[in-house]
Structure 1
Amino acid sequence: LDAVAKATYAAIDAALLAPGLVRITAGNYGGRLGKSFIYLRPERQGAQ
């Protein structure tokens, strides 16, 4: 899960340079994708 979180944050950092970017969001799907959860803000990741 750590590798997926790092890849997510790297992708977000790269997307921040995209012209016209307004917002970055993620779907929850009611937990149907499994028990793992990756916060979009890294400082929240350890605060579960």
Structure 2
Amino acid sequence: MKMLEEMGYPVIQTGNFFNGKGRYAYMDTKATFKVIIELLERFDE
């Protein structure tokens, strides 16, 4: 996420899933790639 932000792609939304055992972020890359990128991270217990 940090790398994409440094490249000029802003975060649209972030949040948690799996009862806080993971998180997601949507990055706005529409100007370059014509898509919104979803990043997912799940934490090991």
If the length of structure 2 is used for normalisation, what is the TM-score? 0.23
Higher relative contact order (Cα pairs below 8 Å, separated by 6+ residues):
1
If the length of structure 1 is used for normalisation, what is the TM-score? 0.23
Structure ranking higher in helix proportion: 1
